[in-house]
Structure 1
């Protein structure tokens, strides 16, 4: 059995939108035969859709993950490596390499460059396999770094399917080194745990924050698809951490 595929499939089926659509479909199917059940199902679907799309709910869910580690600041000791964890891209020869990166990969690449500007002595390691593309995410991020003028050393780790793979495959190189671990802030707690389970001691370099301090406008308090995406990201990380805990 392909456990990687099974994990991804279960994770998708447990997303809020799937639950909402299931409840709506159930309401339609039972509208004539079980009207009470249909009404309850439709009420729950509406409640979840509104709640998961509201900034107060989405922020309160994801903020604890994002606030676990502070942003990266210049270290007093030498930094050996900057590890940019893989995310996603779509290869398109009509676009530049950086334009082919999805937002999560673009955010991680920019943070990697920021850390490299503080520590030019460090070697960047890009990571991520070619799951649904002809080019690995590690290679595409490397191409984007070069395209944007980065001239330092870059090593690619293009066999890793997920964060657990990244930690295991990079462990031999990173043992007894000082390195920064770059990934999205909501994903950082799970990533740090995987690398620490390999006996490594990374310094967190989180990026791509959903929740930022600052005043909100009245428009922010309306249900919004961006907030629903934020809630889905929380559930993805929640079930990822649950899987991590069960395996350990």
Structure 2
């Protein structure tokens, strides 16, 4: 039911209500308003400029880490899980979602810069195992790879990372739009994270975004609203 509060979910709900209202004479006039509202909502949030306006404050809240050697104090590279399929019929790298693949790639970049760091994958068990297997196959030694598989949420990852990183600084790798919420949860646990954003969805300059409606822009708007609501929920629950 949480999807209903996202732009695409709200537009879909209004569309369905409009169709239902059109079946009865007493509500037929209201159906036009519902259908118009559905179309307007989808149109506005499908614009790249709207999506960029929503996502930009999240994605560019922290600077990019171009070279891990700029942070010699870091002792770990923590990668939060995205999503992955545990399907042996798929190639290993092909089991990763786009966000999980970007996170793995940045972790490998940082490990190339800082081979003295441990790589910790934190999140749900299936995704952590798959991301860990990709990292291992691409060169991270087994004795430097740790899987934290007991976290179903970002807030749980922040709690479960405490015994693994203690008070040592670490790179925190996750999607750029998700990073502000993740940093809030990490700072709540008084951990010393160095934000390392990746998986940027849209350009920093709003005027460079595509103004015409597109499914991708609507998906980005959904992601942004999801993160804003997630940050609000974490604050209300004392998790960030």
2:85 pairs, out of 90, 102, 119, with 90
Specify the alignment match of 1:225 in structure 2. Answer: 215
Q: 1:102 aligns with which of 71, 77, 97?
A: 97
Query: Partner of 2:226 in structure 1?
Result: 236
TM-aligned CA distance change 1:169 to 1:57, over 3 Å: same
2:20 aligned with 1:25: no
Alignment of 1:114-125 (within 5 A): 114-125=109-120
Distance in structure 2 (CA, Å) of the matches to 1:33 and 1:115: 63
The CA deviation string for residues 110-146 of structure 1, in whole angstroms up to 9 with x for no partner, is 011111111111000011223xxxxx21111110112
8 Å contact from structure 1 (residues 83, 126) kept in 2: yes
How many pairs are equivalent? 232
Which residue, 61, 67, 73 being the options, matches 1:68? Answer: 61
Hey, which bits of structure 1, 4+ residues long, moved more than 6 A? none
TM-aligned CA deviation for residue 245 of structure 1: 1.3
Measured in 2, the distance between the counterparts of 1:67 and 1:47 equals: 28
Flag structure 1 segments of 5+ consecutive residues without an equivalent.
Answer: 1-8, 131-135
TM norm structure 2: 0.91
Cα distance in 2, alignment partners of residues 122 and 202 from structure 1:
14
Q: Which residue is equivalent to 1:14? A: 5
Distance (whole Å) between structure 2 residues aligned to residue 76 and residue 126 of structure 1: 20
Cα distance in 2, alignment partners of residues 210 and 55 from structure 1 = 10
Shift of 1:15: 2.1
Match for residue 152 of structure 2? Answer: 161
In the other structure, the counterpart of 1:201 is 192
Gaps (5+ residues) in structure 2?
Answer: none
Q: 1:150 to 1:137 in 2, by over 3 A?
A: same
Q: TM-score w.r.t. structure 1 length?
A: 0.88
Secondary structure at the counterpart of residue 231 of structure 2: helix
Matched with 1:181 is 172
CA distance, structure 1, for counterparts of residue 204 and residue 60 of structure 2: 11
8 Å CA contact 1:20–1:48 kept in 2: the answer is yes
